[in-house]
């Protein structure tokens, strides 16, 4: 069954002129969701949909009662302060709302006058984390990242034998996830120099970013039930950009035997916009395993997953230093990669997460793990780009980095392109490192 429908038609134009400008992240074929309000207001946050450089206020749309059936019910859920209720409704409601909003925003729509009153310029809004993230699990799906990092920590055994059989992950901390624009103090903790007899305490010296995707769950499953790989994507509401900041020196000392702890839980940053799984249909790709590689166990295998389980989502990282801001210089590009390189698919992550009976709830989030490509310049972290701090990275303005310094802002972008379809984007996720408290 084709996942492409009329909302993806490249010929669709919107009466919102900015949505028709080439290169915009938010043409009418995208329609991602966020939680927003007007800047510097006491208004409650509410759900919105991006179109061009505007936001459609779902509270205004819901109160206008211009939709019907599932679409109206979904609009009312989307008008709430967080998107969890909308996420929990399920795919039929998400799709109905997407189609209704698409029709209402098209040239010649009978609902143009109503939706004009629902528009707010993106320059005039602020965002919150779009939903209550009850639980967050970070995966490790890039074999290129896993191998490169493993080589730094375990030169003789870089890739552990379970990696090619199990979608590896760990449970993260959702309370420290913030929305784009987040700033945080440099974390402190224990570190141990290779030649030291005892650890020391203080601010981390090897602060890093991780280029990831966030994957939001919609309708969940009951405790004890599992989600089959055939049904897994129907439980995924959408995707965002995700920066999972990491203190590499803390990590090196603490990660054995139980994995990440203080090195990861001090801050993580999501982009405000959730691009729906339906919007990404034209940018799917085949997923495969080379014949000489271990093939997935039966519960992680399906024909659809092979044919279209991968997503070709392009991702880039830029760094803006304090000096760049002071000199009014643009941010320096560090790397670019794609989610199509992921060793495990979203469906496999969802299925494996529930195979033991673990229950998902609407708004739960999965991190994809750092998305690095096969080439060194496609690395999704400074740990890889600097080869564990052994090599210096020279920025466009002549500054040098091995890891992040105070005042550095990291900017990540994401977008999708495919022949015969409009380019769509994720916006950006930005975060700034402050001095340690």
Binding residues for Mg(2+): 244, 264, 268
- Lookup result for tokens 């409650």: 44
Beta carbons within 10 angstroms of residue 226's beta carbon? 19
Cα 291 from Cα 144, distance rounded (Å): 18
Binding region for Ca(2+): 138, 210, 212, 244
**Which structure tokens are listed for 413?**
């972008």
Q: Cα–Cα distance between 430 and 178 in angstroms, integer? A: 10
**Cβ atoms < 10 Å from Cβ of 403:** 22
74: enclosing H helix or E strand: helix 69-78
- The per-residue DSSP string of 282-306 comes to GGEE-----TTSPPPPGGG--HHHH
| Binding-site annotation, residues for substrate | 140, 154, 251, 255, 370
Q: Identify the three-state secondary structure at position 188.
A: strand
**Side-chain-facing half-sphere of 428: CA atoms under 13 Å:** 14
With residue 54 as reference, give the H or E element that holds it: strand 54-57
Give the tokens for residue 83.
């998107």
Binding residues: 138, 140, 154, 210, 212, 244, 251, 255, 264, 268, 370
DSSP 141: -
54 backbone dihedrals φ, ψ, rounded to 5°: -120, 165
- Angstrom CA distances, 379 to 210, 317, 334, 336, 367, stand at 9, 10, 9, 7, 17
**Can you tell me the distance from the alpha carbon of 365 to that of 270, in angstroms, rounded to the nearest whole number?**
11
353 is catalytic: no
Q: In sequence order, which residues have a C-beta less than 8 Å from that of residue 42 and are 6 or more positions away? A: none
CA of residue 335 relative to chain centroid, distance: 17
Task: Check 8, 111, 145, 235 and give the catalytic one.
Answer: 145
Would you name the residues annotated as active-site residues? 145
């Amino acid at each position: 069954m084709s996942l492409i429908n009329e909302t993806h038609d490249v010929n669709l134009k919107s009466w919102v002129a900015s949505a028709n400008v080439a290169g915009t992240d938010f043409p009418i074929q995208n329609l991602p969701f966020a939680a927003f309000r007007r800047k510097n207001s006491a208004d409650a946050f509410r759900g919105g949909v991006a179109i061009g450089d505007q936001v459609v206020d779902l509270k205004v749309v819901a109160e206008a009662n211009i939709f019907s059936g599932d679409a109206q019910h979904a609009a009312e859920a989307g008008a709430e302060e967080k998107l969890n209720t909308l996420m929990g409704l399920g795919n039929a409601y998400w799709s109905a709302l997407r189609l209704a909003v698409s029709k209402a925003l098209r040239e010649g729509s009978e609902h143009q006058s109503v939706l004009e009153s629902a528009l707010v310029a993106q320059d005039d809004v602020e965002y919150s984390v779009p939903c209550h993230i009850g639980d967050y699990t970070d995966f490790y799906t890039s074999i290129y990242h896993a191998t490169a990092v493993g080589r730094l920590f375990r030169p003789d055994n870089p890739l552990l034998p379970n990696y090619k059989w199990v979608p590896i992950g760990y449970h993260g901390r959702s309370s420290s996830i913030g929305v784009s624009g987040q700033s945080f103090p440099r974390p402190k903790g224990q570190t141990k120099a290779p030649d030291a007899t005892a650890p020391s305490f203080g601010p981390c010296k090897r602060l890093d970013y991780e280029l990831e995707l966030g994957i939001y769950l919609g309708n969940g499953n009951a405790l004890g039930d599992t989600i089959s790989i055939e049904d897994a994507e129907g439980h995924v509401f959408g995707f965002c950009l995700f920066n999972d900041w990491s203190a590499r020196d803390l990590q090196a000392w603490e990660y054995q035997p139980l994995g990440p702890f203080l090195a990861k839980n001090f801050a993580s940053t999501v982009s405000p916009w959730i691009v729906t799984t339906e919007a990404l249909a034209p940018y799917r790709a085949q997923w495969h395993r080379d014949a000489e590689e271990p093939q997935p166990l039966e519960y992680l295998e399906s024909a659809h997953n092979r044919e279209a389980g991968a997503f070709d989502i392009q991702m880039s990282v830029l760094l803006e230093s304090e000096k760049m801001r002071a000199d009014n210089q643009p941010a320096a590009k560090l790397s670019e990669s794609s989610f199509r390189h992921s060793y495990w698919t979203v469906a496999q992550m969802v299925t494996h997460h529930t195979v033991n009976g673990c229950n998902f709830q609407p708004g739960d989030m999965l991190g994809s793990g750092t998305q690095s490509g096969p080439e060194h310049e496609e690395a999704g972290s400074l740990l890889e780009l600097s080869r564990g701090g052994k090599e210096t990275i020279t920025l466009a303005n002549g500054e040098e980095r091995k890891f992040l310094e105070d005042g550095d802002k990291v900017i990540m972008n994401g977008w999708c392109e495919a022949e015969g379809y409009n380019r769509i984007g994720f916006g950006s996720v930005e975060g700034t490192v402050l001095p340690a408290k």
